[in-house]
A and B are shown apart, each in its own frame.
Chain A
Amino acid sequence: MEASYSKFNRVCQILEENNYDKSKLIPILQAVQNEYRYLPEEILVFLASSLNISPARVYGVATFFAHFTLKPKGKHIIKVCDGTACHVKKSTGLIDAIKQKLGLKENEHTTKDMLFTLETVSCLGACGLAPVLLMDENVHGQMTPDKIVKVIDEVIKNEEKS
């Protein structure tokens, strides 16, 4: 119970920072997602009543923009760029290799142990280094299927150590 109190405390703080201004819904959702790594349903409802707008409106915005997610994500996020340049330089091969390595099925994005989430993004703007991917915050340029398997192994090894 205590945990959920502190949860709403932080949300109230975010709301205050934004003056309970409903036009700032997007920055508010961004701040909430930064805090929890996803948008929990109960918080969306709480935001709606605090901002005096309908939950449908909040849900509508939260599901419209690609940046928002309503599902919890894995601890490590792999973002494979599938922009034009990366695509031409065979980024789909990277995605297939990662899925194979992590044992993800067709529509799965997060591993069962919640360690990895695989996402594709339309462009990271580092096209000169295509194909590119982000492993958490680190940019890996000029990737190949065998190199990415090594990167993942490295992360798993570090996890096991800790």
Chain B
Amino acid sequence: MADLNKITSDFAAMRKKIEKQIIICAGTGCVANGSLKVFDAFIKEAKESGINVIIKLKKEEISQESMPQESMTQGSKTLLSKSGCQGFCQMGPLVNILPAGILYNKVKPEDVKEILEKSIKNNEIVERLCYVDNGKICKGQDEIPFYTRQTRRVIKQCGVIDPESIEEYIADGGYKAAKKALTEMTDKEICDTVFASGLRGRGGGGFPTGKKWDLTRIQPKGKKYIICNGDEGDPGAFMDRSVMEGNPHCIIEGMIIAAKAIGADEGYVYVRTEYALAVERMKKAVADASKAGILGKNLFGSGCDFTLHVMEGAGAFVCGEETALIASIEGKRGMPSPKPPFPAQSGLWGKPTAINNVETLASIAMIINYGAEVFKEVGAPASPGTKTFALTGQVLNTGLIEVPMGSTLRQVVFDIAGGVTDDKGNVDNESFKAVQIGGPSGGCLTKEHLDLPLDFDSLRKVGAMVGSGGLVVMNKNTCIVKMAKFFMQFTQNESCGKCVLCREGTRQMLLMLEDISEGKANEETLELLEKLAKAVQIGSLCGLGKSAPNPVLSTLRYFRDEYEAHVKDKKCPAGECANLINFSISDKCIGCTLCTKKCPAGAISGTVKQKHAIDVSKCIKCGVCIDACKFGAVARG
């Protein structure tokens, strides 16, 4: 049996010796930006400058000389560790210095020496590595508007604690809620508490979690399952990935509580296979929890058993749908089946099953620990709590954010994300065009929705949905037809083919959108497109087909004039539809040859100091020449 108190006190004793901590973000974004090289540089430089650091190494990271696991040097006072995603992906690699609370961004290996000298040996700040907001140097998260304007609950510990250390999670108060639920609460009490908190499924549907659990709980006793849906397939969404990478134990804790609530003794975490790091961290967390006696038999002496498996998906968006996900765990094609029977009645292997999203399960421990009322303190009345959003596209600060439900788009895009950018990355709020929310199942929000509260019901009213929480900001150079075509291409690819209207309808809609963007369509096409979109909504079995037409319908509703420009005038106002635009070089060209060098297609010819020309047949219309030209000589039109 796991003794949480002992683990906590052991951990505290170990931590007592540490005065400072260096945390390096090892989320996917920062790793891509080279954070592991920064980590290695810290090890090397610390050795050379004689600073004793305790290094937390994990097996996959021992790339250089064989360092012992957690090498404890005599008298060392600085701990070097890695964390999950800290959210501020664009500014990575991120380095956090505690307890001073300094956040350095875009750190390179050559900056490491200075950080050690100034911030570790002394208590100084390397100002040039700090985030600058409107000319003001921000020392750390407490001063950066991107962070201060958020309400971080679910992702609070991502980026602080070491996701691969169960001891650290426990020392931070982890698994207390699981113990409480198992030893002090009845299954009904848990369901009631969660229901009272008003928590609604964060996967997009917004069904009350407490109710879902209760529906599973009241089924006859016997084998039941709990499944965590981590098959985050929405393009442009990565909050589930960040939680699985950054704080996997909080998901396990949520699942233990859910298992008790519904009476399950076995569970699955279904993770997208593309998320290699999330798969690895979830597997390690499950193995560690089993070893510590937090998973397995007779948990906390309660007599309850719970075994957890990690299953990798194999790349099918439709598996985000409950019944399809169940089919794929059973080793079948991931195709949805009609409801009822609901999974609560007959799910995995025909047994009652509850399926919850990652973020939903990550919210459970807090509700059990602090009660439903505390959870409800923030958020909208009918959608309490917070929601994480993946903020991407043409905004200054992209990354992972968490805000109270009901925050407005204006707060998110302008206050937290720092505003809309033009194609060169400069802030230009005038160029704001639209936000796509909820991925391929969601819809477009425009200027008129800037003050709309982001919650389940308000969004549904305007034809959009929270979905899993991807927010993609578009500026005026994004063609709305191309965007709709992109989503239709996605859903057409991902349609499982079971329902005729979804399978054939998405294909026909895609062909129509292609015609529109190639200038081959007329006004009738728009009418037909709208009609077919509505038919697909009605005639599809699962959420994928029902919501596939959303991007088309919502863009037709808010940007009809842009569609009409394509079909009537054969023009693409945003200048993105390749068939409706051409690139040319004007007399402003001084013959610097830069564009010739940059053109990946070799379509530009010309000699030095002579005006250059573009070979239209070779041009792939990528726009590199426009970005490269310092004289504004390349025109798109």
Which residue numbers of A lie inside 8 Å of B, CB to CB? 22-27, 29-30, 57, 60-61, 64-68, 82-90, 93, 96-97, 100-101, 121-130, 132, 139-141, 144-146, 148-149
Contact = CB atoms under 8 A, between A and B. Distances in A.
Contacts of A86: 235
For A89, A90, A101, A122, the residue with the greatest tally of chain B CB atoms inside 10 Å of its CB is: A122
A139 B317 contact: no
B624 A144 contact: yes
Contacts of B598: 146
A23 B392 CA distance: 38
Interface string B266-310: 000000011100000000000000000000000000000000000
18 contacts: A25-B331, A26-B331, A64-B335, A67-B314, A83-B235, A84-B234, A84-B436, A84-B439, A85-B235, A93-B620, A100-B600, A122-B233, A123-B237, A126-B32, A127-B89, A127-B390, A132-B32, A145-B620
Q: Give 8 closest A-B pairs by Cβ, nearest first.
A: A128-B89, A83-B235, A84-B236, A85-B392, A139-B32, A65-B314, A93-B622, A66-B315
A84 B331 contact: no
B4 to A, nearest CB: 32
Contact of B392 (A57, A66, A128, A149): A128
Contacts of A122: 233, 235, 317, 490, 494
B623 A88 contact: no
Nearest to B440: A84
B232 to A, nearest CB: 7
A57 B312 CA distance: 19
A126 B316 contact: no
A93 B496 CA distance: 28
Contacts of A141: 29, 32-33
Contacts of A64: 316, 333-335, 496
A81 B355 CA distance: 28
A34 to B, nearest CB: 11
Contacts of A121: 274
Nearest to A137: B276
Interface string B458-483: 00000000000010111000100001
Nearest to A65: B314
A140 B335 CA distance: 34
Contact of A123 (B235, B393, B474, B621): B235
Interface centre among B274, B316, B621, B623 (most CB of A within 10 A): B274
Given A65-B316, A67-B314, A85-B392, A129 B29 contact: yes
Nearest to B335: A64
A93 B623 contact: yes
Given A129-B33, A145-B624, A29 B314 contact: yes
Nearest to B602: A100
A145 B622 contact: yes
A94 B620 CA distance: 10
A128 B600 contact: no
B180 to A, nearest CB: 33
Q: SS class of chain A's interface: helix, strand, loop or mixed?
A: helix
B238 A127 contact: yes
A95 to B, nearest CB: 10
Contact of B28 (A61, A89, A100, A139): A139
Given A84-B436, A100-B601, A90 B622 contact: yes
Nearest to A67: B315
Contacts of A140: 32
A103 B190 CA distance: 60
Interface string B19-39: 000000000110111000000
A36 B472 CA distance: 37
B478 A88 contact: yes
Contacts of A129: 29, 32-33, 89-90
B29 A126 contact: yes
Contact of A146 (B313, B315, B436, B600): B600
Given A26-B331, A66-B314, A85-B470, 8 more contacts: A84-B486, A88-B393, A97-B601, A123-B236, A125-B28, A125-B241, A128-B399, A146-B599
B609 interface: no
Contact of A128 (B234, B274, B398, B487): B398
B392 A127 contact: yes
Interface string B208-235: 0000000000000000000000001111
A127 B32 CA distance: 11
B328 interface: yes
Nearest to B393: A88
Given A67-B273, A84-B439, A125 B238 contact: yes
Contact of B232 (A89, A100, A125): A125
Contacts of B386: none
A61 B31 CA distance: 33
A87 B328 contact: no
A121 B328 CA distance: 20
B311 interface: yes
A30 B620 CA distance: 37
Contact of A127 (B92, B233, B398, B627): B398
B394 interface: yes
B331 A61 contact: yes
A139 B309 CA distance: 29
Contacts of B472: 84-85, 88
B312 A126 contact: no
Contact of A145 (B315, B392, B600): B600
A100 B620 CA distance: 9
A84 B474 CA distance: 10
B384 to A, nearest CB: 27
A86 to B, nearest CB: 8
B436 to A, nearest CB: 6
A68 B241 CA distance: 22
A149 B602 CA distance: 12
Nearest to B238: A125
B330 interface: yes
A62 B166 CA distance: 36
Interface in B383-432: 390, 392-394, 398-399
Contacts of B136: none
Nearest to B90: A128
Contacts of B128: none
B622 A124 contact: no
B332 interface: yes
Contacts of B398: 85, 127-128, 130
Interface-central residue, A23, A90, A128, A146, by most chain B CB under 10 Å: A128
A89 B474 CA distance: 9
A152 B401 CA distance: 35
